[in-house]
Structure 1
Amino acid sequence: MKAGQCILLLFSCQILYTQALECEVIPGTLKQIDAGLGSVGGVNNDSEVFLFLGNSFTKIRGSLKHITIGPAGQFGVSPENTVFKFQSGLFRQIQVSGGLKQVDAGSEIVAGVNSLEDVLCINKDTNNNGPPANAAWTQLTGGRLKYYSCGPYSCWGVNFTDNVFLKRNVTSSSCGGSSFSEIVNGSLSMVEVATDGSVYGVDYQGALMQRLGVSQSNPAGTEWQRVVACPFGHKHVTYDVGILWVICFDGSIRRCT
């Protein structure tokens, strides 16, 4: 088979896969989105906060650059790296030394990274009890990351050079888990772990990737598979209850099943 025919065949396969993904455009624009336990939230370039209510995103009170929703609750980070937890209808400030630039509540623990790319977490009991203003966050050793996300049995992160890391043996009472191990064949700018353990990410070129073969017995999975939801590249992704939510390069929102 000639080279041109090979390229055409690969391109055709990609188009067929795109058509099978069944995405719909949701009105509005966002820069970051997160879904968990059937709820979806997001923020836009003006740090405005939105929740998906009914069939549309509704603006709520607050100013955040990152939001997360999951078993650990609803958390957000302000443009000044202040951490907030949504309680009793309001986002209430949580004391974290140095603050966080990104936070994740996709499992029963809470985790995130600060401006120095330190990775921090708090256990389930500490989170459920407040956490109080003086709660001790555990700083993880062995890795500096720009993005960190946890699921039911593992956490994934990426560093400033887009290397992908996996942390095993993470539990509700031991958020530190075991040491970081690098997934050498991966390169992502952000990664998200869903509440069912599914792993998705976006690379620096805007390609959307899914990690195949991920399970409790094999948290690292087997390989990356490219998924296409946006015609001109992807910016952010989250997955929950069978629905893939994607932010495209232009900020538009797609819901895929």
Structure 2
Amino acid sequence: MIRFLILMTVFLTTSCHNKTEKSIQLISNETSNTSINDQLDTYFCDYEIKPLIIVNNTESKQTLINLGKHKIEWLDTTEETKIKIDDDLFILKDKLTLNTVWEHKDSVDFANNWDEIKLFAYNRRELIGIRMSYNPCVGSGCSVDYFLIYDLKSKTKNFFGQFRIDRKMALYHFDNELSYVSKTYRESANDSKVEYIYELFSIDEKGQFNKKKNSNGLTYQIKHITFLDDDTIRKEILEQNWIQEIK
């Protein structure tokens, strides 16, 4: 019997701490007693929307998933991968991520396995999130994850990807808007540095996620820059053009 884990959690729509949001200029932070990863984890935790249900594909064999009142089917063949959410059947072929994953937007057709499914609810809107990967993976393919954020009302499909960052799939509430934070990996061999770029997307009435920009037309963005050369004085830098300063 195939086993899989279902974790029920309490849905939270409020943050851990109240914060005033504002637009700020690009800044750099090179000295801090707290690591930048810890700073970012703490900050995003405050705004994370807790899922109602989490299902993990513990044996990579589960193809029929009951998610509350919704049913999901994962249909993978050697030719293509199909997903059916309730009565909506669609394929991954020709689907691209909304964000740059590494050097460009990526095709999600590479995925042939689902790893985690979450059911979210916020402001009378329900969404399903599916984290996908390639199995069995080889080399750099083991460092890639794709995410489908599916709006149940409109049946709109939003795809994102991550490479060499983390495997977390999450939704957030910023400015009382349902939001997604994409993550991009960028490595520069010339100056021995790696950039982890976070960009803010907000959902519209049609269930589509779009990049959120400030009054100057600049995308809200965070850059966490690390240096590969151990001899450099600057170990890591945090640059922000965000809705509020992250301290």
Tell me the TM-score normalized by structure 1: 0.35
Higher-RCO chain (CA-CA 8 Å, sequence separation at least 6) = 2
TM-score (norm 2): 0.36
